[in-house]
């Protein structure tokens, strides 16, 4: 079967958010389309729901099903699997690539002659959000062993999943996330404010609370610094209250030069604010291989990040284990109240905000590192994996 005749269906629970998984689905739709495949993207959004990313290929909103209690959740999955089965009878895909556990399970339940690949985006061990997938690893492993392949977005994550779920030899493969240079229109601001940017969902595992504590310490040492927080989520009000409680001046836009921390909410073009900043900060308790990190490198934006499980951040920035990466730093997780780790962060942040010579060297190194995560490299790995699955 030639690449031009391959029909690929990308499945994801929702495309309404501006999260990393949704970015990956968008990027894959473009990548596979450029590689000569016929691509469709399906989610369980309702027909009128806006998609944050404008994916390539056909778009299918299969409709939502009311959330059921945990013990009855299987009924929800069965109902969604029937919707997916109907769509597949129309599209007749050769391959369905699912993203996140819910979509993985529904893909398997939908049956059909299509071959199936699951993409794992984030670690399971040590991740509070995925603790049920550890407790039920026997069941989860039995599901994943029925997939033709499980693709992890980094090599460390592939190792974790293979051991945890007892996957077959060579069943779990690592294909790094990838990005092209993000489109941006903004120019560097020259208003005397040194900016850092943090981007992600406002949920516990992203650990913005710990980052806010570090930033409040930095603001007591330096004037004219600003943290831009891009993203939204259930913890937004709580995190804004925490920032106020620590004496930080809040704003809603980066142009507010009096604000020490700005909560922008979810925005369509984070690159516009990233190129106006000196450094990207990642404070997460758990990550796969963050898309925002790769986009930062492609923009020449240095990264200071927490060395969190499962090691995808380390794999992206350099696996030497040293704090300095050449394009920023890899540091202990700055958990709330962990003053030892936060002091380490404080020293690196002070350098990032004040040392122009170091910043110039970091920018050059970031651009060089980004070449390892290009679409060309990813397409070669994906084409080889798909050829192995489809024969």
- Give the chain's domains with CATH numbers: 3-178+374-390 (3.40.50.2000), 194-372 (3.40.50.2000)
Residue 327 in tokens: 């394009």
Query: Cα–Cα distance between 8 and 23 in angstroms, integer?
Result: 17
Mean pLDDT of the chain: 92
Tell me: pLDDT of 167 over 70: yes
- Residues 135/201/339/322 CA torsion (nearest 10 deg): 80
Question: What was the pLDDT predicted at 319?
Answer: 66
Q: What single-letter DSSP state applies at residue 120?
A: E
Residue (of 192, 190, 191, 210) closest to 200 by Cα position: 210
Tell me: pLDDT of 272 over 50: yes
3-state helix, strand, coil in the chain (%, to 5): 45, 15, 40
Q: How do residues 206-238 score in pLDDT, each as one tens digit?
A: 999 999 999 999 999 999 999 999 999 999 999
Mean pLDDT of 29-39: 95
Q: What sections of 63-136 are H helices per DSSP?
A: 73-91, 101-109, 131-135
Q: How do residues 370-387 score in pLDDT, each as one tens digit?
A: 999 999 999 999 999 999
Question: What was the pLDDT predicted at 251?
Answer: 93
Question: What was the pLDDT predicted at 320?
Answer: 65
Q: Which of 24-38, 118-132, 173-187, 215-229 has the lowest mean pLDDT?
A: 173-187
What DSSP assignment string belongs to 233-280?
Answer: -TTHHHHHHHHHHTTPPEESSTT-TT-SEEEEES-S-HHHHHTTSSEE
Tell me: pLDDT of 321 over 70: no
Q: What sections of 167-230 are H helices per DSSP?
A: 208-221
pLDDT band for position 1 (cuts 50, 70, 90)? very low
Q: Which helix (H) or strand (E) holds 34?
A: helix 20-34
């Amino acid at each position: 079967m030639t690449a031009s005749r391959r029909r690929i269906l990308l499945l994801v629970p929702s495309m309404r958010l501006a999260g990393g998984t949704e970015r990956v689905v968008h990027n894959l739709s473009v990548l596979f389309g450029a590689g000569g495949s016929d691509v469709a993207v399906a989610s369980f959004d309702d027909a009128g729901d806006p998609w944050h990313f404008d994916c390539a290929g056909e778009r299918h909103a299969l409709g939502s099903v009311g959330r059921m209690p945990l013990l009855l959740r299987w009924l929800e999955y069965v109902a969604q699997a029937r919707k997916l089965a109907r769509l597949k009878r129309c599209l007749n895909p050769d391959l369905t690539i699912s993203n996140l556990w819910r979509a993985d399970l529904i893909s398997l339940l939908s049956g059909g002659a299509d071959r199936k690949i699951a993409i794992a985006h984030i670690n399971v061990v040590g991740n509070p959000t995925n603790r049920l997938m550890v407790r039920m690893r026997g069941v989860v492993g039995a599901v994943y062993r029925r997939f033709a392949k499980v693709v992890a977005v980094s090599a460390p994550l592939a190792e974790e999943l293979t051991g945890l779920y007892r996957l077959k030899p060579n069943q779990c493969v690592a294909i790094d996330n990838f990005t092209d240079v993000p489109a941006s229109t903004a120019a560097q601001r020259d208003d005397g404010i040194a900016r850092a940017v943090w981007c992600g969902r406002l949920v516990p595992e992203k650990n913005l609370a710990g980052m806010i504590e570090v930033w409040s310490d930095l603001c007591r040492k330096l004037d004219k610094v600003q943290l831009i927080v891009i993203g939204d989520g259930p913890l937004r009000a709580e995190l804004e209250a925490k920032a106020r409680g620590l004496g930080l001046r809040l704003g809603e836009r980066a142009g507010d030069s009096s604000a020490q921390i700005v909560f922008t909410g979810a925005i369509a073009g984070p690159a516009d604010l990233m190129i106006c900043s000196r450094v990207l900060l990642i404070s997460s308790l758990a990550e796969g291989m963050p898309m925002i990190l790769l986009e930062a490198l492609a923009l020449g934006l240095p990264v200071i990040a927490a060395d969190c499980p499962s090691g995808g951040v380390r794999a992206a920035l350099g696996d030497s284990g040293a704090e300095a990466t050449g394009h920023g730093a890899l540091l202990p997780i700055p958990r709330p109240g962990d003053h030892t780790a936060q002091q380490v962060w404080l020293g690196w942040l002070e350098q990032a905000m004040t040392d122009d010579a170091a910043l110039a060297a970091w920018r050059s190194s970031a651009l060089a590192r980004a070449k390892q995560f290009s679409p060309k490299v990813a397409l070669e790995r994906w084409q080889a994996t798909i050829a192995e699955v489809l024969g």
